[in-house]
Amino acid sequence: MTTAAWATMAAVCGFVWGGALTLLVIAVRKEGRKREPKPAPRRA
Amino acid sequence: MLLAMLSMAVGTGNIWRFPRIAATNGGGSFLVPWVIFLIAWSVPLLLCEFAMGKATRRNPVGAFAELIGPRFAWMGAWVALCATLIMFYYGVVAGWCVRYFVAAVSGELPGADPGALWSSYAGSGWAVLTLVVSLALALWVVARGVRGIERAVLFMMPVLIGLVVVLAVRAVTLPGAERGLAFLFTPDLSALGNSRIWLEALTQNAWDTGAGWGLALTYATYMRAREDTTINAFILGFGNNSVSLLAGIMVLCTVFSIRPDAAGEIVGAGNTGLTFVWVPQLFAEMPGGRLFMAMFFLALFFAALTSLISMIELAARTLIDRGMSRGRALGAVAILALIFGIPSALSTSVLDNQDAVWGVGLMLSGLFFGVAVLRYGVDRFRREHVNSPGSDFTIGRWWNVAMVLVVVEALVLLVWWFSQTLSAEGFVASLDPIRSWSLGTLLLQWAILLAVCLGFNRWLGRTRPAGDRPEAA
């Protein structure tokens, strides 16, 4: 494989797979935060 | 929701179509525009489709009519009919998965000659039979409800994704696999001057992600009003392209490992069955290969079946919204799917022709979505519908620019491709309507579909009362 091929592979795979993984992590954390029970309101 | 989105991330478009299109269009040279179109085409269009579906709660015809007026219902009809015409040959590909699953279970695969089963099966009467089986199963599921299949898909999709990852890892560790990687990733910058590569890259990205099909729009009509769609549009785009890339590595590394001089064979026409011919050979290199192969083709069939179900639902929904009963609408779709699917089952040349014509037709679908948003007011659409209440993320003004770019890309690419083809092949040869891939065959079939859409525009534009719309879940 030439240097250009390695560079293309790193750029394309890094962008596509890296992007997908980052988005998944963001989405899972967002879902997790939504499911956390909200604190009950304090009574006066 | 996330799991459902991940389930949508895999289909035959990624595993069957991507490796052969990438191979045919020069590998590395193809990947550059393909990645560009993920951001510059698919993601903005998916955001647009989700927003349009949630805002109008109608099928593509009604959505276009409601958003920009009944005079433009024909644009929505193009979107719906283009997806339906893809569905006609998609059933054939789903049928291939059935046949290869049976072959894997019975021990016919992997044979000594990698292409023996493909040569005897593709284009034969058996392909018609498997088309009938896949269509019957998809229609049965649509008619009876999708709850059962949903549970199966939630199990099968992670299995398929897992198998694709394992297979890709195994493929790159085969002796001589680096030739496949070199073929897939070596860029030839001079090839970027070829309009066909850009056209195929855009089309493939639309195929991978489902952008411009009207399926995301239909899916969104059933979503809760406050359900977030922004992150899902991004995950759908990046997730689909991730699986496509894995499938490309899996297939091309296997081909080049088993047949080092394969470049001449897989480039150009005649590679329709690339994945079906070579993936069984990869399983032969693995322990427990036959079991995993059967699981792979079963999961691939489920992936194809879910896409087929969505396409049938889209076509039937359009007829139901015109006043037809659900039973009659499904019957009409079944008859049409069989009549128009049989030629593709009996001839891979016909299938290649339909794949080219309606694959590129998706570019027009995307163009129409872009035109609709520009006519409505791109910033107004973003504020009112994309950034609707309940969105977890706010989409900025970059989306306005992206939607203008969608229209510009489609127009520039069409004009560039037309002029380059006419000058390279000559006026008479390029307009030959009989060839499976020619400007003539595309223009002729597009003209027929456009004439139908415009001819029925007045009827299509008659919107039905809001009470007929599906309720948000």
Which amino acid belongs to residue B365? S
Q: What is the pLDDT of residues B348-400, one digit of tens each?
A: 999 999 999 999 999 999 999 999 999 999 999 999 999 987 777 899 999 99
pLDDT above 70: percentage of residues in chain A? 82
Q: In this structure, is the dihedral angle defined by the CA atoms of residues B184, B185, B191 and B193, taken in order, positive or negative?
A: positive
> Which CATH number is B432's domain given?
1.20.1740.10
Out of B65-69, B181-185, B286-290, pick the least confident.
Answer: B286-290
Query: Has residue B467 been placed in a domain?
Result: no
Query: Has residue B101 been placed in a domain?
Result: yes
Q: What is the ipTM of this complex?
A: 0.86
pLDDT above 90: percentage of residues in chain B? 47
Query: Which range of residues forms the domain containing residue B246?
Result: 2-461
Query: Has residue B472 been placed in a domain?
Result: no
- The burial of B285, by beta-carbon neighbours within 10 Å (0-12 exposed, 13-18 middle, 19 or more buried), is given as middle
- B35 contact partners, CB below 8 Å, separation of at least 6: A12, A15, A16, B241
Determine the residue of chain A that is closest to B38 in CA distance: A16
Q: How many CA atoms lie within 13 A of B100 on its CB side?
A: 32
Copy the structure tokens of residue B180. Answer: 């496949």
Q: Give contacts of A23 with chain B, Cβ < 8 Å.
A: 231, 234-235, 238-239
Q: Which of B185-199, B223-237, B333-347 has the highest mean pLDDT?
A: B333-347
Q: Return the pLDDT at B316.
A: 87
- Whether A16 and B249 have beta carbons less than 8 Å apart is answered as no
pLDDT mean across residues, chain B: 87
pLDDT grade for A43, boundaries at 50, 70 and 90: low
Domain count, chain B: 1
With a cut of 90, say whether residue B157 has pLDDT above it.
no
Query: Has residue B466 been placed in a domain?
Result: no
Query: Has residue B368 been placed in a domain?
Result: yes
Average pLDDT on B39-56 reads 94
Query: Has residue B470 been placed in a domain?
Result: no
Selecting from B32, B178, B245 the residue whose C-beta is nearest the C-beta of A13 gives: B245
* Contact state of A17 with B242 under an 8 Å Cβ cutoff: yes
With a cut of 90, say whether residue B436 has pLDDT above it.
no
With a cut of 60, say whether residue B422 has pLDDT above it.
yes
With a cut of 60, say whether residue B107 has pLDDT above it.
yes
Copy the structure tokens of residue B14. Answer: 């990624």
Copy the structure tokens of residue B270. Answer: 């005649």
Copy the structure tokens of residue A18. Answer: 């890296």
Out of B157-166, B199-208, B227-236, B459-468, pick the least confident.
Answer: B459-468
Q: Could you tell me which residue, B447 or A31, shows the higher pLDDT?
A: B447
Out of B142-156, B377-391, B442-456, pick the least confident.
Answer: B142-156
Give CA–CA dist B64/B61, Å, rounded. 6
- Whether B55 and B384 have beta carbons less than 8 Å apart is answered as yes
Q: What is the 3-state secondary structure (H, E, C) of chain B?
A: CHHHHHHHCCCHHHHHHHHHHHHHCCCHHHHHHHHHHHHHHHHHHHHHHHHHHHHHCCCHHHHHHHHHCHHHHHHHHHHHHHHHHHHHHHHHHHHHHHHHHHHHHHCCCCCCCCCHHHHHHCCCHHHHHHHHHHHHHHHHHHHHCCHHHHHHHHHHHHHHHHHHHHHHHHHHCCCCHHHHHHHHHCCCHHHHHCHHHHHHHHHHHHHHHCCCCCHHHHHHCCCCCCCCCHHHHHHHHHHHHHHHHHHHHHHHHHHHHHCCCCHHHHCCCCCCCHHHHHHHHHHCCCCCHHHHHHHHHHHHHHHHHHHHHHHHHHHHHHHHHCCCCHHHHHHHHHHHHHHHHHHHHHCHHHHHHHHHHHHHHHHHHHHHHHHHHHHHCHHHHHHHHHCCCCCCCCCCCHHHHHHHHHHHHHHHHHHHHHHHHHHHHCHHHHCCCCCCCCHHHHHHHHHHHHHHHHHCHHHHHCCCCHHHCCCCC
* Contact state of A8 with B32 under an 8 Å Cβ cutoff: yes
pLDDT grade for B467, boundaries at 50, 70 and 90: very low
Out of B159-163, B223-227, B233-237, B352-356, pick the least confident.
Answer: B223-227
Out of A15-19, A27-31, A32-36, B343-347, pick the least confident.
Answer: A32-36
Q: Return the pLDDT at B268.
A: 57
Give CA–CA dist B89/B169, Å, rounded. 31
Quote the radius of gyration of chain A (alpha carbons, Å).
Answer: 20
pTM of the model as a whole: 0.90
* Contact state of A15 with B35 under an 8 Å Cβ cutoff: yes
Q: Return the pLDDT at B258.
A: 81
A20 close to B (CB below 8 A): yes
Query: Has residue B177 been placed in a domain?
Result: yes
Give CA–CA dist B234/B43, Å, rounded. 6
Q: What is the pLDDT of residues B244-269, one digit of tens each?
A: 999 999 888 888 888 777 776 666 55
Q: What is the pLDDT of residues B167-186, one digit of tens each?
A: 889 889 988 889 999 999 99
Q: Return the pLDDT at B269.
A: 52
A4 close to B (CB below 8 A): yes
- Whether B441 and B435 have beta carbons less than 8 Å apart is answered as yes
Query: Has residue B361 been placed in a domain?
Result: yes
With a cut of 50, say whether residue B473 has pLDDT above it.
no
Give CA–CA dist B301/B160, Å, rounded. 10
pLDDT grade for B286, boundaries at 50, 70 and 90: confident
Average pLDDT on B440-444 reads 93
B113 close to A (CB below 8 A): no
